[in-house]
Chain A
Amino acid sequence: MEFFSISLLNGLSYGLMLFMLSSGLTLIFSMMGVLNFAHASFYMLGAYFAYALSTSIGYWPALFIAPLAAGLLGALFEQVCLRRVHRFGNVPELLITFGLSYLVLEVVQLVWGRNVVPYGLPEQLQGPLFTLYGTQFPKSRAFIMLVAVLMLGGIWLVLTRTRIGLIIQAALTHPDTVQALGHNVPRVFMLVFGGGAALAALAGVVAGNTYVTEPAMAYAVGSIIFVVVVVGGMGSLAGAFLASLLIGVVQTFAVAIDTSLADLLRVIGVQVASGNPLEQALRLTVSQIAPMLPYLFMVLILIFRPRGLMGTRED
C-alpha cells in the first residue's frame, strides 16, 4: 500500500513535469505549426542557468530570472532564424530547431563540461514533505507539482481571460484574419515561442535539482515528450495532459518493480522453458525495461488508435 501511494505521488509529479514541457510544445505546434525540436534544450538551459545563478544570487531569484533569460533567447531565435525559415515549409522549420538543439548542446558542454553538475536543492526544499507508511515524499517533488499546477493555471487564465490570450487563441487557427484586424501577429508568434521557451526553462529549473542536471538531459526528456504528444494526440492539450500523467505514473511504477517478465508470465500460468531463445529477454525485470515503455506505448497507440488518445481525426 505504501509503495503504491508514494509511487503514485512520485509518478504524478513526474507526469506533471512532463506536462509542463509537452503543453508548451503543443501550444507552439498548434499555433505556429512548428515542431520545436529545441524545446527540451530550453528545459536544459533553464536548469543550467538556475545552477549558475543559484550559486551567486540564490535559488529563489533564479527561479524567476532563469526562465526569463531562456525566454529572451527563444524570442531572439524566433525573430532572427525561425521567421526567416518559415516560408520554406515545415521540414526546414523543424530542421532549424534541430540545429538549434545541436548548438545549445555544444555550448552547454563547452561552458559547463560534459559531466553532471552539482545543482542542488535549496534548504527550504530539502527533506520530506510528509512520511507515508514509512516512505518519504520529498518536498522538492511536491514543489514541482505546485509549480506545474500554478503554471498551468496561469496559462489557462492568460489564454481565456486576457486580451492577449484571446488574440493568441484566434491566431491559433486564423493568423491572417487576426493580422488583418490590425494585431501584430509576428509579435504574437515571438511572444508564444519565447513564452514556450520560458515555461520549458521553468520546468528545467525545478526539475534540474530534483533529478539530474547533465548535457544528456535534453535528449532524454525530449524524446519522451515527443512520445507524449503523439500518444495524447497532436495539438490536443487535454490529450497531452492525459498522456503525460499516464506515462509518468507507469514509468515510475515500472522502475520500482523488480519482478522479471518471466515471473509475470508464470503468474498467468505460462512457464518459460530454459533454452528458449527469448529467455534472456524474459529474464529482464520490469524495472530494466522501464525506459522502453513510453516508446512501446507509442507504437501500440499508433497501431490501434493512430490519432492518439484525444486527437482529432486528420486526413
Chain B
Amino acid sequence: MVSSSRRKWLAWGGYAAVLIAAPLVFRSSLAVNMLSQMGFLIVICLSYNLLLGQGGMLSFGHAVYTGLGGYAAVAAISYVDAHGIAVPLVLMPLAGGLMGALIAVPLGYVSTRKAGLTFAMISLGIGELVVAFAIMLPDLFGGDGGISINRTYGKPLAGISFGPQLQLYYLIAAWCFVCTALMYAFTATPLGRMLNAVRDNPERAQFVGYNTQLVRWYSFIIAGFFAGIGGALGTINFEIFNAADSLSGLRSGAYLLFTFLGGVTFFFGPIIGAVLMVLAMVLLSELTAAWLLYLGLVFVLMIMYAPGGIASLVMMNVQMARTGRLGRFAGPYGALALACALLFLGVAPLIEMVYHLQLNVGAGSTITFFGMPLDAATAGPWVGSAVVALLGALAVHRAGRRFALAWGRAQEEIQAELQRAGAAA
C-alpha cells in the first residue's frame, strides 16, 4: 500500500515529468504553441478556482486581473526595453503578479463585502467598469491596436533569447509548476483552510473568531496575484496586449466555463479545464463551425449530470477502483459509451448541416461528416440523422439507467462493508 506522502511525491514528480517531456513527445510547432497556452491557462484556471472551488466565490470578472497582469508585463517590458535596463524576461511574470495583487486590494475590498450571488453580479459590474475604463484611455492601454512587445528584448541569458517557442514553453512550464505548487501549498495554510471553512459555513466561521470578509478579501488578493502571473505569461506568449480582448467579459466567461468543466471540487480539476480550453479553442474550432454550440451543450449537460466536473468523474472511478470493484463496470461503461456515440452520430450531422446551410451556403449544400458526404438539400440525411438521434437518446436513457443502478448497488456494498468494519472496531 503506497503511503500518502509517497503518493504525493509521485504525483508532483509525474506532473513535472509531463511538463518537461510534453514538447518532446508532441513536437510540431502547433503542439508546442498549444502546450505553451495550456501552461499559462493552468495558472489562470487554478487562480480562478481559488475563488470558486476553495472560497465559494463565483466571479464573472476574472479577466480584469489576468488582463491587467498582462498589461503590467507588457508595460514593464516596453519600459525596460526602451531604457536598456537589464531585467530578464524570466522575472517579468512577477510584474504581472504584483499588478494583479495590487488591483485586487481595492476591487477585492469592494467585491468581498457581499457573498454568494451578489458577489457574482458585482464581479460582472466591476469587470465591465474596468473594460470601459481601459478602452477610454487608448494612450495608456494601447487602443485598438494594442501594445506589442518583443520578447527577445535585451541580451540573451546564457544563450537563451526566448525567440524560439520551445524556449518560451519551458519558461511558461517552470512558472506553471511553481505557481501550481504555491497554490497547492496555500490550501494547507491557516488562511487557505479558513477560506474553505468560510465557503462551507460563513456563520460558523464567524463564531470561531474569524472576520469572514477579511478571509475572503485576503484570499482574493492572493488569487489576483496568481491571475496576474498567468495573464503576464499570456501576453508574453502572444507578444501583444489588447484591452478590449484581454479584459473582456467573454474571457471571464471562458475561464468560468472551462474551470467548471474541469472540476471545481478537486485541486487538479482546473488543470484539466485549462487543457480542454486550449484543445477546444484551437483544435475543435478548426474541426467545426458549431464548436461553441457543442461547448454550450456539454457545459449544460455537465452541470445537470456531473456538477463536480471531469475531476469528480475521475475520482469517483479511482475510488471505485480502490475497492476493487471497477472491473465489473467494463460492460456498463461500454454500453453507455456506445449509446452516447450513437446519440452523437445522430445529433452532430443535424447541427453541422444547419450550420453549413446558414454560413456556407455558397459552397454547395453537401457536407462531409467523418468522410461521409451528406447533401443537406435533400431530405435523406435529415431524416436519417433524426432517427439515429432518437435511437441514441433512447439508448442513452436505458444504458444510463442500468449504469446508475449498478453503480448504486456497488456503493451500497461499500457502505455495508464500512459499517461492518466500523462496528467491529
Contacts and interface: CB of A to CB of B under 8 A. Distances in A.
B171 interface: no
A85 B307 contact: yes
Given A92-B307, A94-B58, A223-B125, A102 B136 contact: no
Chain A binding site: helix, strand, loop or mixed by DSSP?
A: helix
Contacts of B3: none
Interface residues of A, number: 45
B365 to A, nearest CB: 17
A280 B140 contact: yes
A165 B94 CA distance: 57
Given A84-B304, A85-B304, A315-B203, A288 B136 contact: yes
A96 B303 CA distance: 7
B114 A302 contact: yes
Contact of B125 (A91, A95, A226): A226
Nearest to B357: A110
Contacts of B307: 85, 88, 92
Nearest to A83: B304
B121 interface: yes
A223 B128 contact: yes
B139 A280 contact: yes
Given A98-B253, A299-B110, A315 B125 contact: no
A96 B133 contact: no
B300 interface: yes
A289 B136 contact: yes
Chain B interface residue bracket vs A? 35 or more
B118 to A, nearest CB: 6
Given A280-B137, A302-B113, A94 B125 contact: no
A98 B256 contact: yes
Interface string B113-147: 11011101110111011001100111110000000
A219 B124 CA distance: 11
Contact of A302 (B58, B110, B116): B110
Contact of A292 (B132, B138, B257, B304): B132
A99 interface: yes
A35 B120 CA distance: 10
Contacts of B203: 315
Contact of A230 (B122, B136, B139, B358): B122
Given A102-B257, A234-B117, A298-B129, 4 more contacts: A35-B121, A103-B296, A103-B300, A219-B249
Interface of A: 29, 35, 81, 84-85, 88, 90-92, 94-96, 98-100, 102-103, 106-107, 110-111, 113, 219, 223, 226-227, 229-230, 234, 280-281, 284, 288-289, 291-292, 294-296, 298-299, 302-303, 306, 315
Interface of B: 52, 56, 58, 110-111, 113-114, 116-118, 120-122, 124-126, 128-129, 132-133, 136-140, 202-203, 249, 253, 256-257, 260, 292-293, 295-297, 299-300, 303-304, 307, 354-355, 358
The 4 closest A-B pairs by CB, nearest first: A295-B129, A99-B300, A226-B121, A102-B296
